[in-house]
């Protein structure tokens, strides 16, 4: 296994393990459990992913396939901040698989096993981060049901909750586990879950309290024993919370109330810990300011069964497209007095392969770990030949102090725009506009953690406009753009101008380390004299989407190749 492609905690492949899965090269095995195996994979873009493959003996049963389908649907509904993002799923040789981002870092279980209690500063961030993740999970009416130290990873940007394999949609009537079975891990099951068969959001609050007490003291608050013994102690409030810091003690004690009605909600916990009207944004700021990634020996793969880590896609990538909306924040493309506003909305769909997106070099991969401090030449991030192809006779115009920032994020904003010029002698006048904007979140202002938070909020806002029609505008689905930065999405829009022209636009949003990037591209085709629309249908959205995807790949590669833009 060559250097630069392996990751801590991954074991060498054994006979019978796959060498590739649908375009992903398999680098090693991260873990194996009752449900299946988790492999470390490498996408065609050079980014690492975690691939969870179902065991053959389960894959053939309808009940398990139903459960697996629910797992994918549930995971896709959860916002990615403080959780592991699901990239795609499929089937290989009759076995279903799930691809998620690869999150580098030990689990909380690994850390406590190696070092004991977590220091106070990191403990507060873990409490806030896990509460933030539960708030996102519960917001879409899901229950994690298996929150435990092995399912909390301590990444470079903060704690991340993983494994929604047994999450249950509260509003779904489907039950894929047999009656009488208790899904969960001994010591991490709420008393009502075992004794009464009740499974609601309160079971996650109970395990949040158990987990924080465990992290604060290095021991389980209910001691040792089997499932029934520990649950019986929990029902009688027989916990030992000595050693839990006073700041967290009231919340932990409330979370461990024997009955669900006595426990706070995840949102209430988050507001108490982070404060402010926008508790999630405050949580991002706190984690970005206070979090220091722990250093621990590479975890045993056996303890990493459920690690579903970080980065995007394969050769048949999934592309994220912002379903544009027409607002004042959109870009106007001037063409014969008419304008197009290209914005963003969300949904999911297939992303065709991009022949131009070669795997990054080792140097570029190393630069991804750097912190960006400035965009020295925003116009230079796009190759001149690509800009000339997409925007005929256009000239780059740099912009500073991007209004309101990308997705409304705060930070240092800059960008570049191209607007097409006349095309003498052409039978078709292609009016096009391309805008690329960047916002850097400095380390002092939260850095990569804040960027992740702003990206998640922006994506959520955009998604609300996907697949809708508003007035003369219609917005396409949002899809995940694999292999671009840390995560990316994109979408399309169409609107009709007063002169009858149909303007088609595409937009892409990218999170790359501590930089947010927004790309907007759109336009319409006119007759040779530029006075009338070429036809009534406009440019196909797929064509604009493909072009925006090419720009996204070029921009990220341009940043990676800019040594003066980052600090090691």
Beta pairing partners, 155: 158
What region, left, alpha or beta, does residue 243 occupy, with left being phi > 0 and alpha being psi -120 to 50 degrees? left
Q: Is 146 a catalytic residue?
A: yes
Side-chain-facing half-sphere of 372: CA atoms under 13 Å: 29
- What the block records as the tokens of 80 is 């990615």
Residue whose entry in the numeric block shows the structure tokens 């009416």: 141
> Looking at beta carbons, which pairs linking 5-11 to residues 24 or more positions away fall under 8 Å?
5/42, 6/40, 7/40, 7/48, 7/102, 7/104, 7/309, 8/104, 8/298, 8/299, 9/106, 9/298, 9/299, 9/300, 9/301, 9/304, 9/307, 10/40, 10/301, 11/301
Spatial separation of the C-alpha atoms in residues 485 and 553, rounded to whole Å: 8
What is the SS3 assignment for 251?
helix
Determine if residue 52 is labeled as part of a ligand binding site. Answer: yes
β-pair type (428-440, 515-527): antiparallel
Determine the straight-line distance between the first and last CA of the chain, rounded to whole angstroms.
26
Which among 110, 146, 454, 486 is annotated as catalytic?
A: 146
**DSSP letters of 43-95?**
-TTS-EEEEEEE-HHHHT-HHHHHHHHHHHHHHHTS-STTBPPEEEEEEETTE
Query: Cα separation of 367 and 369, whole Å?
Result: 5
CA nearest 53: which of 91, 1, 20? 91
Detail the residues annotated as belonging to a binding site. Answer: 52
Q: Which residues are catalytic?
A: 146
Residues making up the annotated binding site for ATP are: 52
């Amino acid at each position: 296994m060559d250097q630069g492609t392996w990751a801590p905690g991954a074991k060498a492949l054994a006979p019978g393990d796959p060498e590739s899965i649908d375009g992903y090269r398999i680098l090693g095995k991260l873990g194996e459990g009752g449900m299946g195996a988790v492999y470390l994979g490498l996408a065609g873009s050079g980014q690492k992913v975690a691939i969870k493959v179902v065991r053959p003996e389960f894959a053939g049963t309808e009940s398990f396939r139903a459960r697996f389908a629910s797992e994918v649907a549930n995971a896709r509904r959860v916002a990615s901040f403080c959780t592991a993002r699901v990239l795609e799923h499929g089937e290989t040789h009759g076995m279903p698989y799930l691809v998620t981002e690869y999150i580098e870092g030990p689990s909380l279980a690994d850390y406590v096993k190696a070092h004991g209690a977590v220091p106070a500063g990191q403990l507060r961030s873990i409490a806030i981060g896990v509460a933030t993740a539960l708030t996102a999970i519960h917001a879409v009416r899901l229950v994690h049901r298996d929150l435990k130290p092995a399912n909390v990873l301590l990444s470079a940007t903060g704690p991340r909750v993983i494994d929604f394999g047994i999450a249950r949609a509260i509003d779904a009537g489907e039950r894929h586990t047999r009656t009488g079975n208790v899904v969960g891990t001994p010591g991490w099951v709420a008393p009502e879950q075992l004794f009464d068969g009740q499974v609601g959001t309160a079971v996650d609050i109970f395990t949040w309290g158990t987990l924080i007490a465990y992290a604060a003291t290095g021991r389980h608050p209910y001691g040792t024993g089997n499932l029934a013994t520990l649950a019986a102690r929990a029902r009688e409030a027989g916990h030992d919370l000595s050693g839990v810091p006073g700041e967290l003690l009231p919340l932990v004690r409330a979370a461990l109330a024997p009955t669900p009605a006595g426990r706070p909600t995840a949102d209430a916990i988050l507001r108490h810990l982070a404060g402010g009207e926008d508790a999630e944004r405050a949580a991002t700021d706190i984690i970005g300011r206070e979090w220091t990634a722990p250093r621990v020996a590479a975890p045993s793969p056996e303890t990493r069964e459920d690690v579903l880590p970080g980065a995007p896609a394969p050769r048949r990538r999934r592309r994220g497209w912002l379903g544009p909306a027409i607002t004042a924040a959109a870009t106007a493309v001037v063409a014969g007095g008419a304008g197009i506003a290209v914005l963003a909305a969300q949904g999911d769909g297939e992303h065709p392969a991009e022949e131009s997106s070669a795997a990054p070099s080792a140097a570029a991969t190393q630069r991804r770990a750097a912190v960006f401090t400035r965009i020295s030449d925003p116009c230079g991030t796009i190759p001149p030949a690509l800009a000339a192809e997409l925007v005929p006779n256009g000239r780059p115009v740099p912009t500073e102090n991007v209004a309101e920032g990308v997705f409304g994020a705060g930070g240092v904003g800059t960008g570049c725009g191209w607007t097409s010029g006349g095309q003498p002698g052409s039978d078709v006048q292609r009016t096009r506009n391309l805008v690329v904007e960047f916002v850097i979140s400095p380390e002092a202002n939260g850095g990569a953690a804040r960027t992740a938070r702003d990206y998640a909020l922006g994506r959520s806002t955009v998604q609300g406009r996907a697949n809708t029609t508003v007035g003369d505008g219609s917005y396409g689905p949002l899809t995940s753009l694999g292999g671009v930065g840390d995560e990316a999405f994109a979408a399309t829009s169409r609107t009709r101008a007063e002169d009858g022209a149909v303007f088609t636009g595409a937009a892409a949003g990218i999170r790359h380390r501590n930089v947010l990037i927004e790309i907007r591209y759109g336009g319409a085709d006119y007759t040779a004299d530029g006075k009338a629309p070429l036809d009534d249908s406009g440019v196909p959205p797929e064509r604009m989407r493909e072009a925006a995807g090419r720009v996204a790949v070029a921009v990220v590669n341009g940043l990676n190749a800019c040594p003066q833009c980052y600090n090691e």
